[in-house]
Structure 1
């Protein structure tokens, strides 16, 4: 192993590895594996050898395509394997974005980007970072939903680990099959509740793959430290079970003891193989499993549920920013949710915690400012016996109310939040009612994908006569109303989870605490400028997302140190600069 001095670290990104017996070059040797990003800063550098020549061009981690220089082509046996022209990474990026824009169908863009990721990883991330506002809806919501629905038909090569009931008793061995050893973030799903699309079984893999792409592009976690996993326990989707292209187990979903034993073996194996500090993000589990898994493993593992906690954090940030326009403190406002599942109750609880933090009142008291409507109407005390456990804290004293419209008229909320996964539920009557008793009604239509959104941006602005402060889960184009242009915000979890993940990694966190989520929300809300607010935006532009993620990471890390849950010691003096220094860079490196 070549040991490098501090002075040479910057220049010696790669060296040529010679076979000690033959003296023949063995390929590119990358001294730092892939990058220094999100690595512990005091470890001895290591070397990794990769093949030269034809094999190098098929290695997505090191391939640069036509950007290999003349010198590199000679040194690494690439002469004749590439056309003679040498071009820059910037020109490659320009060509690719031009080609992507030729596709009329979003799914074709998604497939083209996945192909790029499989052949040239750094170029994929450079393209995504430089064009984040344009490409985020392709690699994430809403296009990723369609990709999951059709995953069996478009499946080409695996991009993660598939752990099914067939692997029960052997999960540790399966984890060891993954080529990377230094995993820092795992995103795992069982595919039962993909976005607002329901049970997609094994084809839910598109979600962990997409989320981890954003962890690297937006949060700077190096790609080789990310592991997407799908737990396949079957599916109750009859259409998929009959689909000849379906890639998962053809059986009904396992439940009860069989399910919990598989998940428990998985959680133990992950900790055994990757250690205490690997972040496990639960994604798109059904309500009954999501809450149980978070409660069960929150005290023993570094776990985070993006649907419950990530959504809550990003929505709280939007609310805090919106109040700068509406006026008043958060405790002076009344919240009404349509949807009382993991997203709705998660957001409600974090808002109640923020109220409690500001007023020092017990959270049981602050919950009374928050009301939830489910499929049976307003959640009230008289329904207590029939309620699922996670809904019970929100059952307040009130007469029964059957419909959302009646609940809006009765409760008179200042903030209306939709998280039920049911489209077109914020009707004209509902929005007009909100506008009738609020000068600036805050309306958040969060359900994904776009088809499930409670209302469109145009509907919200038109029906409120341009007075609504609107944000949605899926992106909407700007809206013109009465000669004024309105820019709808997107309450996208991609604002939050990459920064939270980076903050947990750089501090060496061992547990996730609610106070870290509040810290993330506060950091995001602080990034909304007066100029953004003047345009009606309650979230900052995505083009600044890497800077935003660094700010969030610093806030989360600071709270981690404050709570005594950090293991990377001593604490860096400037956490923002430290976070930025740890972020993965997709810029090509020179090979010698």
Structure 2
């Protein structure tokens, strides 16, 4: 029996850590008929998009003006890339097939280009663009000149001194996201990002790093942690009684998280809010996700609550014992 047969239409199935070809196939198979969510593909993408949107306040320009280069073309890389392309499409009203062209991926064989299309897995094929072959990350950085460099490769120390210097040579403030876990697999350390960019990089990572002092300034690296999204995302689905997960809900979650980064965070070079505020952040994410579910007509808890943030907060579990004496 399926979970839906046992628990009904509104049971949420959240899954992760599957081999990437299985994860994409399962998500594609069930997303139209079940309330299903993959944290590796969708949760990671939503958190990273939020960081990129928040970082625009520091690096300048609109989302569509930036060029993105990924190291890593698995679940995380392609999931993040697709959500960025969808957000650019939403903001510019340009078809997603066109906005994908602002995003380039590098895998173990080099830049993903059109001449490699037949040998690529189906989920990487949309990222095969017109360009001559480039077989390593450094040359890809020099050729593409990205403003945003994102690592989701699971391979440590791949953002070398030369790579960071190259991306810093044509960006006043390069955005460098080293997302791989654990710390030993991070594409670079916070210290390397700030040192090799001469203190100009905006940096966040998947693993935690301590603040870095460089030339009498203290830089605080943010952590791109899925805990910012999936608890609030799940709560948004529950309080709206959503029956499907739509990409627009992921965009709504990202926008809510980006909206929780304030001036005092930006002053430290942070593109994520402190995790100590997670309950408040999760309520905002839940409210935005629920609002989108109502707008899309996939919510079943009616009537729609007047104040979704307050409603989300009232539905949150508080791990506190009552005092009966």
Normalising by the smaller structure, the TM-score range is over 0.9
Question: Are positions 1:516 and 2:249 aligned together?
Answer: yes
C-alpha change, 1:474 and 1:396, in structure 2 (3 Å) is same
Question: Are positions 1:403 and 2:165 aligned together?
Answer: no
Question: Are positions 1:369 and 2:82 aligned together?
Answer: no
User: 2:260 is matched with which residue: 508, 527, 530?
Assistant: 527
Instruction: Give the secondary-structure state (helix, strand or coil) at the position aligned to 1:470.
Output: strand
Report the equivalent of 2:74: 341
- Superposition deviation, residue 524 in structure 1: 0.4
- Superposition deviation, residue 269 in structure 1: 2.3
Give the Cα separation in 2 of the matches to 1:590 and 1:324: 46
Question: Are positions 1:283 and 2:22 aligned together?
Answer: no
- Superposition deviation, residue 587 in structure 1: 1.1
Give the Cα separation in 1 of the matches to 2:319 and 2:231: 16
Instruction: Give the secondary-structure state (helix, strand or coil) at the position aligned to 2:234.
Output: helix
Kindly provide the CA deviation profile for residues 525-578 of structure 1, in whole angstroms up to 9, marking residues without a partner as x.
000001111110000011111000000000000000000000111100000000
User: 2:6 is matched with which residue: 273, 290, 296?
Assistant: 273
Structure 2 gap segments, 5+ residues each? none
User: 1:492 is matched with which residue: 225, 228, 232?
Assistant: 225
Kindly provide the CA deviation profile for residues 11-66 of structure 1, in whole angstroms up to 9, marking residues without a partner as x.
xxxxxxxxxxxxxxxxxxxxxxxxxxxxxxxxxxxxxxxxxxxxxxxxxxxxxxxx
Question: Are positions 1:427 and 2:164 aligned together?
Answer: no
User: 1:412 is matched with which residue: 145, 154, 160?
Assistant: 145
Instruction: Give the secondary-structure state (helix, strand or coil) at the position aligned to 1:572.
Output: coil
Give the Cα separation in 1 of the matches to 2:80 and 2:319: 34
Kindly provide the CA deviation profile for residues 494-516 of structure 1, in whole angstroms up to 9, marking residues without a partner as x.
10111100000000011000000
Report the equivalent of 2:182: 449
Question: Are positions 1:311 and 2:44 aligned together?
Answer: yes
Give the Cα separation in 2 of the matches to 1:270 and 1:278: 7
Instruction: Give the secondary-structure state (helix, strand or coil) at the position aligned to 2:281.
Output: helix
Give the Cα separation in 1 of the matches to 2:248 and 2:2: 28
**Which stretches of structure 1, 4 residues or longer, exceed 3 Å deviation after superposition?**
none
Question: Are positions 1:569 and 2:302 aligned together?
Answer: yes
Report the equivalent of 2:25: 292
Question: Are positions 1:379 and 2:112 aligned together?
Answer: yes
Give the Cα separation in 1 of the matches to 2:25 and 2:4: 19
- Mark the structure with the bigger radius of gyration: 1
Question: Are positions 1:332 and 2:65 aligned together?
Answer: yes
Give the Cα separation in 1 of the matches to 2:11 and 2:184: 35
Kindly provide the CA deviation profile for residues 145-189 of structure 1, in whole angstroms up to 9, marking residues without a partner as x.
xxxxxxxxxxxxxxxxxxxxxxxxxxxxxxxxxxxxxxxxxxxxx
- Superposition deviation, residue 271 in structure 1: 1.1
Instruction: Give the secondary-structure state (helix, strand or coil) at the position aligned to 1:443.
Output: strand
Kindly provide the CA deviation profile for residues 256-306 of structure 1, in whole angstroms up to 9, marking residues without a partner as x.
xxxxxxxxxxxx421111111111111111111000000001011110000
Question: Are positions 1:580 and 2:316 aligned together?
Answer: no
- Superposition deviation, residue 590 in structure 1: 3.8
Instruction: Give the secondary-structure state (helix, strand or coil) at the position aligned to 1:425.
Output: coil
Give the Cα separation in 2 of the matches to 1:303 and 1:452: 29
Give the Cα separation in 2 of the matches to 1:517 and 1:271: 22
Question: Are positions 1:463 and 2:196 aligned together?
Answer: yes
Q: TM-score, normalised by structure 1?
A: 0.54
User: 1:540 is matched with which residue: 257, 273, 281?
Assistant: 273
Q: TM-score, normalised by structure 2?
A: 0.99
Give the Cα separation in 2 of the matches to 1:425 and 1:418: 8
Give the Cα separation in 1 of the matches to 2:303 and 2:182: 43
- Superposition deviation, residue 589 in structure 1: 1.7
Report the equivalent of 1:241: none
Give the Cα separation in 1 of the matches to 2:123 and 2:226: 22
Give runs of aligned pairs for residues 75-90 of structure 1, distance below 5 A: none
Give runs of aligned pairs for residues 19-418 of structure 1, distance below 5 A: 268-418=1-151
- Superposition deviation, residue 591 in structure 1: 4.8
- Superposition deviation, residue 369 in structure 1: 0.2
